Amino acid sequence: MKQISRREFLHFAGGVTFLALAPNGQGLFAATEADARLPLFTVLPYIQPGSASKLKENDDTLVVAWQTEDAAADFTVAYGLSKKYGQIAVPIQGARAIGDAAVSGDAALKRRNYNAALTGLKLGRKYYYQVQGKGKVIAEGYATTRQPRGRKIRFVAFGDNSNGDVSDHRIAYQAYVAKPDFVMNTGDNVYQSGLDREYAKFFFPIYDATTAGPELGAPLLRSVPFYTVLANHDVTGRDAIGREAGDFTKHSDALAYYTAMHLPMNGPAQPADSTPTVCADPAVLAQFQACAGDRFPRMANYSFDNGDAHFLCLDANAYVDPTSPALQAWIEQDLADTDAHWKFVVYHQPAFNVGQEHYKEQHMRALSPIFEKHGVDIVLNGHEHTYQRTMPIQFEPTDLTNASHTATRDRIVPGKLTIDREFDGKEKTLPRGIIHVTTGAGGNALYEPEFTDSPDRWVFTDGPENHFVSKFYSREHSLSVIEIDGRALTLRQINEFGKEIDRIRVTKA
By CB under 5 A, name the binding residues for Fe ion.
188, 232, 383
Please count the other Cβ atoms lying within 10 Å of the Cβ belonging to residue 211.
10
Q: Which residues contact 183 (CB under 8 A, 6 or more apart)?
A: 155, 156, 157, 158, 175, 207, 220, 224, 225, 226, 227
Indicate the residue among 231 and 291 with the shorter CB distance to Fe ion: 231
Residue 404, SS3 per DSSP: helix
Q: Are 117 and 61 in contact (CB under 8 A)?
A: yes
In the complex, what is the shortest distance from the CB of residue 188 to Fe ion, in angstroms, rounded to a whole number?
A: 4
In the complex, what is the shortest distance from the CB of residue 422 to Fe ion, in angstroms, rounded to a whole number?
A: 32
Indicate the residue among 234 and 420 with the shorter CB distance to Fe ion: 234
In the complex, what is the shortest distance from the CB of residue 349 to Fe ion, in angstroms, rounded to a whole number?
A: 7
In the complex, what is the shortest distance from the CB of residue 243 to Fe ion, in angstroms, rounded to a whole number?
A: 16
Indicate the residue among 62 and 300 with the shorter CB distance to Fe ion: 300
In the complex, what is the shortest distance from the CB of residue 187 to Fe ion, in angstroms, rounded to a whole number?
A: 6
Question: How far apart are the C-alpha atoms of 291 and 167, rounded to whole Å?
Answer: 32
Question: How far apart are the C-alpha atoms of 288 and 295, rounded to whole Å?
Answer: 11
Indicate the residue among 78 and 183 with the shorter CB distance to Fe ion: 183
Indicate the residue among 144 and 317 with the shorter CB distance to Fe ion: 317
Please name the helix (run of DSSP H) or strand (run of DSSP E) that holds residue 106, with its range, or none. none
Indicate the residue among 181 and 188 with the shorter CB distance to Fe ion: 188
Question: How far apart are the C-alpha atoms of 116 and 131, rounded to whole Å?
Answer: 9
Q: Are 386 and 448 in contact (CB under 8 A)?
A: yes
Question: How far apart are the C-alpha atoms of 404 and 284, rounded to whole Å?
Answer: 31
In the complex, what is the shortest distance from the CB of residue 385 to Fe ion, in angstroms, rounded to a whole number?
A: 8
Burial of 456 (0-12, 13-18, 19+ CB in 10 A): exposed
**CA-to-CA dists, residue 249 to 5, 278, 316, 341, angstroms:** 48, 6, 24, 46
Indicate the residue among 415 and 449 with the shorter CB distance to Fe ion: 449
Tell me which residue has its CB nearest to Fe ion: 383
- Nearest in space to 373 (alpha carbons), one of 348, 400, 396: 396
Indicate the residue among 108 and 407 with the shorter CB distance to Fe ion: 407
Longest dimension (CA), the chain: 72
In the complex, what is the shortest distance from the CB of residue 380 to Fe ion, in angstroms, rounded to a whole number?
A: 14
Indicate the residue among 174 and 232 with the shorter CB distance to Fe ion: 232
In the complex, what is the shortest distance from the CB of residue 383 to Fe ion, in angstroms, rounded to a whole number?
A: 4
Q: Which residues contact 48 (CB under 8 A, 6 or more apart)?
A: 62, 63, 64, 65, 115, 225, 226, 261, 262, 263
Length of the chain: 509
In the complex, what is the shortest distance from the CB of residue 229 to Fe ion, in angstroms, rounded to a whole number?
A: 11
In the complex, what is the shortest distance from the CB of residue 27 to Fe ion, in angstroms, rounded to a whole number?
A: 25
Indicate the residue among 305 and 448 with the shorter CB distance to Fe ion: 448
Q: What is the DSSP annotation of 405-463?
A: -TT-S-----EEEEE--S--SSS----SSBEEEEE--SSSPPS-GGGTT-GGGS-SS-S
